[in-house]
Amino acid sequence: MPCWSSAAIAVIDSTAFVVGTNTSRIERIDRNGGPATLIATLDTPIVSVAANGGWIAAQSVDGTLFRRGGGRESRTTVDTSTVGIDVAHDGTVYIPRGTQLLGWGPTAAEPVPVAASELVRRCRELFGQEPLAFLHGTDPIASLGIVSGGAQG
């Protein structure tokens, strides 16, 4: 089996995962040992990747965000010292920045702060029930924890 100089990894589905490498490559890896497929190459090493619902997102050292899905590909840059991203089933990429949570929607040019009420709405839609939300903090969001119970059984 090949060895990758990976910095980040995320599950795409039961057949593949995505790897972000120290050599700035984003690759789709076949779980059954098939050949790796190059998705994209960024200018600096990849520090975080995410996958969800056909969307793949990556963050590189220089703040470049990459997203592919829904028949399109886009890039933007954020000023961030925080490593870590997530991508929602609709293609929105979430990025922490200082005391804010930013959302980069599939048709947006750049990430914008996410209001607490918007996150509650999305959780309600995703989980099909009213979330237990403690909204007595800052808005936009300064900290976040989501426990869905989805890993149970």
Q: Report the distance separating Cα 61 and Cα 74, nearest Å.
A: 17
86-90: average pLDDT: 90
How high is the pLDDT of residue 97?
A: 78
Chain segment 89-146, per-residue pLDDT in tens: 899 999 887 777 889 998 888 888 888 788 788 788 878 888 887 776 665 555 566 6
Q: Report the distance separating Cα 38 and Cα 27, nearest Å.
A: 5
Query: In the predicted model, is pLDDT for residue 45 greater than 60?
Result: yes
For 105, the token pair is: 């929607």
The phi and psi torsions of 57 (rounded to 5 degrees) equal -130, 150
Cα 99–43–105 angle (5° rounding)? 45
